[in-house]
Structure formats: C-alpha cells, structure tokens
Amino acid sequence: MAERGQQHGNGLVTGSVPTDDAWRVFRIMSEFVEGYERLARCGPCITVFGSARTRPGDPHYRMAVKVAKLAAENGFGVITGGGPGIMEAANRGATMGRGKSIGLNIQLPYEQVPNRYIDELINFRYFFCRKVMFLKYTTGVIVLPGGFGTLDELFETLTLVQTDRVPGLPLVLMGLKFWRGLFRWMDVALVGRKFISKADLRLPLITDSAEEAVDTVKRYREQHGTAANFA
C-alpha cells in the first residue's frame, strides 16, 4: 500500500493517496458507466421500492404485482432492487405485463440472490451508485411498505423532490394503512415545529389504487418525457 503522507506544521498532509482508495475510484466509476449504458437503453421505467421480507400471498405483495403489471401494460419498464419480497413481486408483475423487468442487485455480506423474474440484471458493490441508478432513468417512484432500506430510499427520493433536484417526479406510496401513521407523526413532529411545510406532506400521493398510481406517472411522462432530470 502506498504511504499515507506526512502532516506538517501548517496542518496540510502531503504524500500519495492510499492505493486501495485510488483503485476504489475506478471501481465506482465503472459501476456508474455500466449502469448508465445499460439503463439508458431500457426506455421509460418506473422504480418500485419495498421490503425484501414480504411473502407471496401478502396483500402488499399482490399490490406490487398488480401495479407493476399495469405499468408494463402501459409501456413502462420496472426497476427494482432485484431481490425477494416486493422486489420479486414487481419484477413478476412486469413480466406478466410483458414489460422490461430490471433488477439492480447489491452485493451484501450475506448474499442477496436475484429473483427469477428479471431479464436485465445489473450488479452493484456500492449502495450509493445503485441509488443513483434507481432514479437516473425513472419516470416515477412507487414505494410499498418496508424497513430501513425502504425508508432510506423513500426519504432520499422525497428530499430530491422537495428540493427540486427532480422537479415534479411522481412519488407514490402504496399501502394507506401502513403509511398513515408515519404522516400523522410528521404532521405533528415536523410540520408542528416548522422543520417542513404543510405542503411538503402533499408531495407524495398515498393510495391503494394501482390505476391511480400508474395514471400519475403517465401524466408526468406526457408532460416531461421519459425520465427524471436527475444527476
């Protein structure tokens, strides 16, 4: 490994960048290049987030299948994290609707096995590269119930919409009963203390209707084109 350099009296550090760090830059760059090249060819897409632990037969699993199938029938590809649960359901629905079914798989210490309904699989080592790809070529984001990862994806997308980094990008939350409590809490704890405005709570559409979700994304595509103006 290259030397990390020496610190001088002025506080500056001189010397070369550690070899591992330098090569990491190239690995990161290669993930962006591959992702951009492959996803740019997939046409208009909808990104679906949700729990990897949701089982077939669960109402939210069925909801994900239905909305992804309807999206595919309306000319959208479907992008997921490529794993089980809601991701599998959405890729399954895309396949049923004869649409492009895309999985952005992440390499984890415990292996995440891609689901069998994917026809375009891209593997990532870095979460942040993968998260850019979820939004770079999407025309809308649909979020179903999930855990920490799903909430991370939701709030990052919500922040980008709120700050106009992806102006007007449709953000749809499916599962009224699941999300209602979170938004009641935000109304009290965030709006109540003026951390956000009341209007920010209306940025996402919350619905159980697959038709309403897909229609929202279709209107955005008609007005803005096939993908968000992101990154």
More confident residue, 149 or 21: 149
* Cβ contacts of 128 within 8 Å, gap of 6 or more: none
In Å, how far from its chain's centre is CA 214?
A: 16
Q: Is 189 exposed, middle or buried (0-12, 13-18, 19+ CB in 10 A)?
A: exposed
Domains of the chain in start order, with CATH, are 17-224 (3.40.50.450)
Give me Rg for the CA atoms of the chain. 20
Please tell me the predicted confidence (pLDDT) of residue 229: 61
Mean pLDDT of the chain: 91
pLDDT tens digits, one per residue of 127-182: 999 999 999 999 999 999 999 999 999 999 999 999 999 988 999 999 999 999 99
Q: In this model, does residue 55 exceed pLDDT 80? A: yes
In sequence order, the 6+-apart residues with CB closer than 8 A to the CB of 27 are 125, 126
Res 21 pLDDT > 90 = no
Q: For residue 157, which of 195, 123, 115, 205 has the smallest C-alpha distance?
A: 205
Q: Which of 171, 144, 168 is CA-nearest to residue 157?
A: 171
Split at pLDDT 50, 70, 90, the class of 5 is very low
pLDDT recorded at residue 111: 57
Closest CA to 48 of 153, 163, 162: 153
- Say if residue 28's pLDDT is above 80: yes
Q: Is the pLDDT of residue 2 over 60?
A: no
